[in-house]
Amino acid sequence: PHDVLWQPASNSRVLAILSNPAYAGAYVYGRSTFEATRRKPGRLRSGQVRRPLEKWPVCLQNIYPAYITWEQYLAHRARLHDNQNRYEAGRHGVPRKGQALLQGVVLCGRCGARMGLHYSGPQGEYPVYGCNAGQHQYGSPRCQEVRALGLDAEVERLLLAALEPDKIALALSALAELEKETAMLDRQWHLRLERAKYEAERARRQYMTVEPENRMVARSLERQWEEKLRGVEEVEHAYQRWSTQQQLVITPADRQEILALGENLAQVWRAPTTTNADRKTMLRLVIRDVIVDNKREHGRVWFRINWQTGATSEHWLTRRVQSYAEHPQLEHLRRRVRELNAAQKMDEEIAMILNEEGVRPSRGLAFSGGLVWMVRQQWQIPTVKENGKEANPLRWKDGTYSVEGVASAVGVILGTVYKWVRERRVDAEQLAKGMPWKIKLTDEQIASLREYVKRVRRIKRSKKEAS
């Protein structure tokens, strides 16, 4: 009398069906058993272990109508086992050789699943951490994806910063404090032990002094002595237990070695002989896992590092987004570029100012003049010319000529002047790409240019007549 309830098949449900021999028509009992040594107190179903197929106590074939044959069932079983091995091998402890540093230690901050790694880009050169939890289970869209290179670089930076020599020295000095404390506690233990031994010794002496005929007294003193001896034993045991827990002893030699390692760490990390697998191993010694969430804020990735020490730290990573339409500081960037451009700053200068202000480009680390020029083109911010949108005057305020000015002074077309500029026949200066040329010319230079033009024309004419 159960209602049938249809639900999407989940991984675990499908697995359960595949591994259930009833679908192959077999009645089976005792697929798993309880192992007393694995039991946890208070947990009823703890300590359950699977038995291998050969050890199933009851396995009767052809009992139910079978969906698949027994051979098919065995084949499925072998295949699942194989898959599991392969999955496990790639998953835990074995850092693979790929370039993504955090592979295997990234957890999804949205659903808690371990994030996988895949490669995107035309040549598959961009590693991406992706959470496929929902997708594998129910075919729902991917939970989230985070580009690996940026995140890796940031975690690497934090890791190396955390292991800088002065940080290690600090940790070591904290450790030294701990050692001092341990030494003090050790002394306390010794005092306790001495006291217990002293009391036992006193009880012994009291017992020895009593006359054997005085049996009642002797017996009670004997009991006391015994008690004191037990007391000594207890303290000794407790001391032993305590001291095995305090095994962290760092010798001065260790200390030197650790400090030296810290100094070399960055070098070792970047050495060409250090493989990606080495780096991953090193990383896992220091970092347990990294939890990532890129949907908390637009254009930024939040992540938390769970360090092996038990400490955690939270960080934000500004995504290097593809297009400037997605730039996290889009409005700010556009406003600054407009303002600086309006203040007649050159693209190079604008780039420098933006870099100083800590505004980052979508790609790369810093703005360049060319990049600012490109951004201005995208947003159609024209260069603000000295003369606004007016036609260039023949001569600028500082006395230099414009291209038009040279053309009219010498009596040539604009193209010729541009050619001279290119050939550096004239002393021309342009404040920035797209800005008008300023050409320094003396009257003598103008005269000689005129002579030059006449000469060239005469030569051309004579060539024409000759032909």
Give which of 370, 364, 369 is closest to 352, Cα–Cα: 369
Shortest reach from residue 330's CB to Zn ion, in Å: 28
Q: How far apart are CA 370 and CA 99, in angstroms?
A: 31
Nearer to Zn ion, 108 or 426 (CB): 108
Minimum Å gap between C-beta 110 and Zn ion is 5
Q: Interacting stretch for Zn ion, rule CB under 5 A, among 140-148, 262-270, 321-329, 372-380?
A: 140-148
Q: Does 110 bind Zn ion (CB under 5 A)?
A: yes
Tokens 């070695």 correspond to what residue? 257
Instruction: Examine residue 155 and tell whether it contacts Zn ion (CB under 5 A).
Output: no
- Reference 333, options 153, 323, 386; nearest CA is 323
DSSP assignment, residue 222?
A: H
Residue nearest to Zn ion (CB): 143
**Does residue 372 interact with Zn ion by CB under 5 A?**
no
Q: Is 143 in the site for Zn ion (CB under 5 A)?
A: yes
Nearer to Zn ion, 60 or 111 (CB): 111
Interacting span for Zn ion (CB under 5 A) from 101-109, 209-217, 250-258, 394-402: 101-109
Q: Decide whether 109 or 405 has the Cβ nearer to Zn ion.
A: 109
- Joined together, the tokens standing for residue 167 give 């940080």
Residues 280-299 contacting Zn ion, CB under 5 A:
none
Q: Which amino acid is at 14?
A: V
Phi, psi torsion values for 309, nearest 5 degrees: -70, -10
Please, which residue, 117 or 412, has the CB nearer to Zn ion? 117
Q: Cβ of residue 105: shortest distance to Zn ion, in angstroms?
A: 15
Specify the stretch interacting with Zn ion by CB under 5 A; choose among 127-135, 184-192, 200-208, 376-384. 127-135
SS3 content of the chain, % helix, strand, coil (to 5): 55, 15, 35
Residue 401 CB coordination number (10 Å): 26
Total of residues contacting Zn ion (CB under 5 A): 7
Is the Cβ of residue 145 or residue 199 nearer to Zn ion in the bound state? 145
Q: Which of 102, 108, 283, 428 touches Zn ion (CB under 5 A)?
A: 108
The per-residue b/e assignment along 142-152, b for 16 or more CB within 10 angstroms, e otherwise, is ebbbbbbeebb
Q: Whose CA is closest to 100, among 127, 131, 130?
A: 127
Name the residue nearer to Zn ion (CB basis): 143 or 317.
143
Q: How far apart are the first and last CA of the chain?
A: 112
Q: How far is the CB of 129 from Zn ion (least distance, A)?
A: 10
Contacting Zn ion within 176-195 (CB under 5 A): none
Which of 239, 234, 170, 238 has the alpha carbon at shortest distance from 200? Answer: 234
Distance CA 128, CA 118 (A): 5
> Rule CB under 5 A: which residues touch Zn ion?
108, 110-111, 113, 131, 133, 143
